[in-house]
Amino acid sequence: MIQTPTLIIDEDKCRANIRAMAEKARRNDVIFRPHFKTHQSHEIGSWFKDEGVDRITTSSLTMAAYFSKAGWKDITVAFPANILEIELINQLAQSIVLNIVVESLETIHGLDNNLKENINIYIKLDLGYHRTGIAPEKEELISEMMEAIDVSQHMTMKGFLGHAGHSYAATNQSEVARVHCESTRLIVETRNKYVEQFPNLLVSVGDTPTCSVIEDFRMVDEIRPGNFVFYDLTQMHIGSCTAPQIAVALACPVVAIHAQRNEIIIYGGGVHFSKDTLDHREYGNIFGLAAEDNGESWGDLLDNVVLRKISQEHGTIQAPSSYIDLINVGDVIKILPVHSCMAADLFSTYHLSSGKVISRLTH
Amino acid sequence: MIQTPTLIIDEDKCRANIRAMAEKARRNDVIFRPHFKTHQSHEIGSWFKDEGVDRITTSSLTMAAYFSKAGWKDITVAFPANILEIELINQLAQSIVLNIVVESLETIHGLDNNLKENINIYIKLDLGYHRTGIAPEKEELISEMMEAIDVSQHMTMKGFLGHAGHSYAATNQSEVARVHCESTRLIVETRNKYVEQFPNLLVSVGDTPTCSVIEDFRMVDEIRPGNFVFYDLTQMHIGSCTAPQIAVALACPVVAIHAQRNEIIIYGGGVHFSKDTLDHREYGNIFGLAAEDNGESWGDLLDNVVLRKISQEHGTIQAPSSYIDLINVGDVIKILPVHSCMAADLFSTYHLSSGKVISRLTH
């Protein structure tokens, strides 16, 4: 029985999300290398194995080490290489195919001077998101980096990697499609410039909005979406998923009711949901939306039952009187989160709707 | 040596913050019942014991259980009682003085029907923050609740508890003082109404802004500040502390440098800092400010070296060219957080500036 804020995963929905993306990758004949930063769980990783997945992405070396312990043998760390962790890089490279992302000559030299094992290298390109990566027009720098990788003893130049994170700013599918077309064109053109000298260069892309909305990925070699495993309200808002595809909810005890101001106080705050907000068309700035409780899982979104404010452990739900009249202190409300990656990161265990409790990487 | 994002505590600063608040409580002859939700660590708890503290506040029963294991015998859970955790309430009440906060008759009845051990009750008053608590003008409801507590077998009506959380909206010390005066007047007046029937009722208040700024607390019986143990940029912005009093920093590896757009990418994101922002006078919306690195600890804030954007693991620092010219991939930058409670909650261990690693409650 739920007593404290609990993250619940609907296994059927989650497996359906995994299956749909795996099938899309197969139809396109591209490598499906899902990003595991969203779930960070051995058990959920095994659901990907059930769909034939054998290559994964993580956002840290720590996370790569965690998944290597569950038997994953080919891992891309899609984060600029942190040369301070060279020991862990060497250690992982002993037992798995380790793919590392670089975006500067300094990092390549830092790796080259300290590597004892072989690793694959992807050069990170900035496809318009302007967070990390090299602008594709910096051809001289890219050439110099590829040369440095090529002459190194332990590094193999494997391809180009991009993350069109600006797809998250989209609010409809055609905007997502535009981001996809532009970013894919950029990365494929860059690859084509170097393909004579390096004939086997791969192109790796993939964020959940584009991988969910776009059907044709035949121009690229690999996709790396992550969030789709759970989806969330942000993805629904972008148009990547529908509400019934969202596979995660937070079950939160009701601790107080302020009917006069149409508010319910839940045990469930920033340390459970994170503080990511969504600017919702109807409700303005929100932290979550409540769904019908149908026992072990949840049903449709409830009209106008909105998580409006959170502090460390408190959440304030705004709801119509007709809903508040049905709620008592000691009830549990199920709430779909704005950003499932960040919420999941705040729990050390997940409860499956079957009742089973599974563990995940803890910090 | 730091390899990944690390939370560092300057023990001297932290102990000085504890000492100053303990002395202020002694000068005012009020009970000092610090809120431990900020640090959530047995070791840091012991620094409070060194200052003579023997009563504490937590924000959850789980946290109360954690601290009871370290020998704390008198704990107030300053969160509306979650009756779903009645088992843990009974269990804790067997071995410690457990003070529980209520704000409805439903909760009082829920407790009364299931309590097997004795607990103390505080009624939560809404002193103007409008998150939880009963409006002081609801005299009939308050009387009814006090009667229900009085006739119950296992509950003792102990006093009124308030949290003037709207002090966090202040941007200078005189605004904090105004919040303090109004909220203290409200809670003391409420207590005075019932003092004939309940002569020993206590008044418990305390948030870090008012407890830091105000000198005179003789009107109340108890203060419960929490954040002051570390302080942070939000408190500095309010005027509760100065930069040198901030006792916590996040040490983050540099993984990329984009000199053309004056940006440094650090390994350190929303899963380390949380996503709380501060609307800084000079820099707009920020997630942190970098400080001089002086080896094990840190020195003054650096001019214009600002954490402007964060995603899950990435942070983007904006800095002048004169600073960027000195920074290399593989360096570590020390950054003071916007909200230390939320950042600390994201780490399972803290590194003291002495080098010692201490643990904390994990979820």
Span B65-119, pLDDT tens digits: 999 999 999 999 999 999 999 999 999 999 999 999 999 999 999 999 999 999 9
Distance from CA of B162 to the nearest CA of A (A): 15
CB pairs under 8 A between A and B: 150
Distance CA B259, CA B14 (A): 36
Query: Same domain for A78 and A195?
Result: yes
Partner-chain contact B84 A257, CB within 8 Å = no
Residue at which a domain ends, from A156, A190, A225: A225
Q: Is the pLDDT of residue A235 over 90?
A: yes
- Beta strands, E only, chain A: 6-9, 31-32, 56-58, 74-80, 97-102, 119-125, 155-162, 202-205, 222-223, 248-258, 263-267, 278-280, 284-286, 288-293, 298-310, 314-318, 332-337, 349-352, 357-359
In A, minimum Cα distance to B134 occurs at A258
* Crossing angle for the helix pair B86-95 and B105-112, to the nearest 10 degrees: 70
> Is residue A37, in this structure, part of any structural domain at all?
no
Tokens of B318: 């904006």
CA distance B217 to chain A (A): 26
Residue A93 has φ and ψ, to the nearest 5°, of -65, -15
Distance from CA of A69 to the nearest CA of B (A): 20
- Asked if residue B238 belongs to a domain, the reply is no
Main-chain dihedrals φ then ψ at residue B336, nearest 5 degrees: -80, 130
CB atoms under 10 Å from CB of B329, counted, come to 25
Number of domains chain B is built from: 2
Query: Do residues B338 and B301 share a domain?
Result: yes
- Provide the terminal-to-terminal Cα distance of chain B, rounded to the nearest Å: 26
Which residue of chain B comes nearest to A276, CA vs CA? Answer: B275
C-alpha A80/C-alpha A103 separation (Å) is 7
CATH code of residue A294: 2.40.37.20
On whether both B342 and B287 belong to a single domain, the answer is: yes
User: What tens digit of pLDDT does each residue of A253-275 get?
Assistant: 999 999 999 999 999 999 999 99
CATH number at residue B133: 3.20.20.10
> Of the candidates B193, B225, B257, which is a domain's last residue?
B225
Is the CB of B132 less than 8 angstroms away from the CB of A256? Answer: yes
Give first-to-last CA distance, chain A, whole Å: 26
A51 C-beta neighbours (distance < 10 Å), count: 17
Q: Give a yes or no: residue B30 inside a domain.
A: no
pLDDT > 90? residue B167: no
From the list A341, A264, A348, A242, the residue with the least C-alpha distance to A310 is: A264
Q: What H or E segment, with its residue span, contains residue B242?
A: none
Spatial distance between the Cα atoms of B243 and B299, rounded to a whole number of angstroms:
9
Query: Could you give the dihedral angle defined by the CA atoms of residues B124, B125, B130 and B131, in that order, rounded to the nearest 10 degrees?
Result: -10
**Residues B82 and B204 reside in one and the same domain:** yes
The model carries a pTM of 0.96
Question: Encoding tokens for residue A36?
Answer: 């595991």
Do B267 and B201 lie in one domain? The reply is no
pLDDT of B64 > 90? The answer is yes
Strand bridging mode A298-310 / A314-318: antiparallel
Query: What pLDDT is attached to residue A233?
Result: 97
Judge: B275–A314 Cβ closer than 8 Å, yes or no. Answer: no
What per-residue confidence (pLDDT) applies to B281? 85
Query: In angstroms, rounded to a whole number, what is the distance separating the alpha carbons of residues B260 and B218?
Result: 57
Which residues in chain B have their CB less than 8 angstroms from residue A106's CB?
257, 328-330
- Give Cα separations from B258 to A104, B128, B273, B321 (angstroms): 10, 46, 22, 10
- Minimal CA–CA distance to B256: which of B331, B335, B337, B334? B331
Question: Does pLDDT of A363 surpass 90?
Answer: no
* Predicted local distance difference test score (pLDDT) of residue B164: 87
Per-residue pLDDT tens over the stretch B230-262: 999 999 999 999 999 999 999 999 999 999 999
CB A29 within 8 A of CB A218: yes
User: Both B317 and B344 in a single domain?
Assistant: yes
Q: Hey, are the CB atoms on B3 and A82 less than 8 Å from each other?
A: yes
| Residues A176 and A313 occupy one common structural domain | no
For chain B, state the CA radius of gyration. 22
Cβ partners under 8 Å of residue B181, min gap 6: none
- For B9-29, what is the mean pLDDT? 98
Record the tokens describing residue B2, joined without a space: 């730091």
Shortest Cα–Cα distance, A275 to chain B (Å): 6
Q: Which two tokens stand for residue A321?
A: 């009187």
Q: Sort B135 into a burial class: Cβ within 10 Å, 0-12 / 13-18 / 19+.
A: middle
Q: Please state the rounded mean pLDDT for residues A126-142.
A: 94
Enclosing domain of residue B249? 243-359
User: What is the structure's pLDDT at A170?
Assistant: 83
Does one domain contain both A247 and A208? no
The β-bridge partners of A285 are A279
pLDDT in tens, A305-334: 999 999 999 999 999 999 999 999 999 999
> What percent of chain A has pLDDT above 70?
100
DSSP code for A31:
E
What is the pLDDT averaged over residues A121-133? Answer: 94
Residue A104 belongs to some domain of the structure: yes
pLDDT at A362: 86
Distance CA B361, CA B363 (A): 7
Question: Is A108 domain-assigned?
Answer: yes
Q: What is the ipTM of this complex?
A: 0.95
Q: Are residues B250 and B174 in the same domain?
A: no
- For the beta sheet containing B74-80, the strands, ordered from the edge strand earlier in sequence to the opposite edge, are B31-32, B222-223, B202-205, B155-162, B119-125, B97-102, B74-80, B56-58
Kindly report which listed range (A36-40, A52-56, B192-196) carries the lowest average pLDDT score. B192-196
Q: Is B62 domain-assigned?
A: no
Is the domain of B271 the same as that of B148? no
Percent of chain B predicted with pLDDT > 70:
100
Looking at the structure, tell me whether residues A255 and A219 fall in a common domain. no
Q: Give the residue-averaged pLDDT of B7-16.
A: 98
Boundary (domain end) residue, out of A225, A258, A276: A225
- Residue among A79, A255, A329 minimizing CB distance to B313: A79
- Does B178 share its domain with B262? no
In a domain, A318, yes or no: yes
